[in-house]
Amino acid sequence: MISAERTRRARWPWALLVVIVILAVLVVAAELIARAVLPGVVRGIVIEQLELPADQQLDVDASGILLPQLIGGRLDQLHLTTGSVTIGGVTGAADVTATGIPLRGGDLEDARGTVRIDDEQFTALVAASDLPIDTVEFDEPDVTVSGSVPVFGISLPLALTVTPGADAGELLLTPVSLQVAGTTLNAQQVADRFGSIAEQLTQTQRICIADQLPAGLTMTGLAVDGNEVVVDVQVDGAIVTDETLQENGVCP
């Protein structure tokens, strides 16, 4: 009897170890399943909410250990990237990080990211300005817009170099230099030669693009990076629950 009891006691730690190993394997398997399933679920929700094409390329990556987050009903962080997506009236490569994502409904805690656009998309954004724009050329950190203005009944070609930026959700174009028929002019020379046209050529342009973006997105920064423009955006956490924030905004 004593020998059998000692045998059972000797086996107990091994049995406990086996149970622990099995539980650990199950937890790892569940974590792997969660990581395999969650991106597809999130992708489907995003595509549905933003009314994107069913075949939209969208990569989703979740941070941290998922099982405790899923049990708690809240994801710590999601990273979403796509090589090309059209949101509102803008098409570009998007990289967005969202934090505090409720799994049972509710607003996001925070979301922000960047959208990279090419010269064609940038030209469309600045088309609402008072500048004569036919072509756009990037020269980091500036942009040169070329066009022509009517002077004394003739069309005079010019090239205006500006530094793009953003303020309070508006796109800014701050003039750096102006070339008219190959001659570089300063602000006073422009005013002397072009009169009322000078103001639109020498003053910082503020362009509202709210009508080209969902109301829940706010442009917080903009800069030239090589042959692209990088737009920083802040996302209203209520965009997932408020349909009006998913619609394009309005300009004053």
| Chain segment 5-16, per-residue pLDDT in tens | 555 555 556 666
On the question of pLDDT at 114 being above 90, the answer is: yes
Look at residue 153 and tell me if it is in a domain.
yes
CB neighbours of 131 closer than 8 A, spacing ≥ 6? 145, 147, 160, 173, 200, 201, 205
Backbone angles phi, psi at 197, to 5 degrees: -70, -25
Mean pLDDT score, 111-140: 88
pLDDT at 151: 66
Q: What angle do CA 43, 249, 175 make, to 5 degrees?
A: 105
Reported as a pLDDT band with limits 50, 70 and 90, residue 105 is confident
Look at residue 24 and tell me if it is in a domain.
no
Look at residue 100 and tell me if it is in a domain.
no
On the question of pLDDT at 3 being above 60, the answer is: no
Reported as a pLDDT band with limits 50, 70 and 90, residue 234 is very high
* Contact yes or no for 197/58 (Cβ under 8 A): no
Confirm whether pTM is higher than 0.75.
Answer: yes
pLDDT at 236: 93
CB neighbours of 177 closer than 8 A, spacing ≥ 6? 160, 161, 184
Report the share of the chain in percent with pLDDT over 70: 81
* Contact yes or no for 47/60 (Cβ under 8 A): no
Greater model confidence, 205 or 165: 165
On the question of pLDDT at 49 being above 80, the answer is: no
pLDDT at 163: 93
Look at residue 22 and tell me if it is in a domain.
no
Look at residue 1 and tell me if it is in a domain.
no
CA 161 to each of CA 116, 143, 145, 155, 204: distance values in angstroms, whole numbers, following the listed order? 21, 6, 6, 19, 12
Reported as a pLDDT band with limits 50, 70 and 90, residue 115 is very high
Give the least confident one: 72-76, 110-114, 157-161. 157-161
* Amino acid at residue number 245: L
pLDDT at 100: 92
How many angstroms from the chain centroid is the CA of residue 84? 11
Structural domains counted in the chain: 1
On the question of pLDDT at 186 being above 70, the answer is: no
Q: Name the one residue in this structure whose structure tokens are 């230099």.
A: 177
Reported as a pLDDT band with limits 50, 70 and 90, residue 155 is confident
Look at residue 134 and tell me if it is in a domain.
yes
Q: Strands 142-151, 154-167: parallel, antiparallel or unpaired by DSSP?
A: antiparallel
Q: What angle do CA 64, 66, 68 make, to 5 degrees?
A: 105
Reported as a pLDDT band with limits 50, 70 and 90, residue 178 is confident
Look at residue 159 and tell me if it is in a domain.
yes
Nearest to 174 by CA among 203, 136, 198: 203
Look at residue 222 and tell me if it is in a domain.
no
Q: Which two tokens stand for residue 2?
A: 């004593």
- Alpha-carbon distance 126 to 164, whole Å? 10
pLDDT, averaged across the chain: 83
Q: For the chain, what is the radius of gyration of the CA atoms? A: 28
Mapped onto helix, strand or coil, the DSSP state of residue 67 is helix
Q: Which residues pair with 137 in a beta bridge?
A: 144
pLDDT at 12: 58
Domain that holds residue 162: 129-208
For the chain, the straight-line distance linking the first and the last C-alpha, in angstroms and rounded, comes to 91
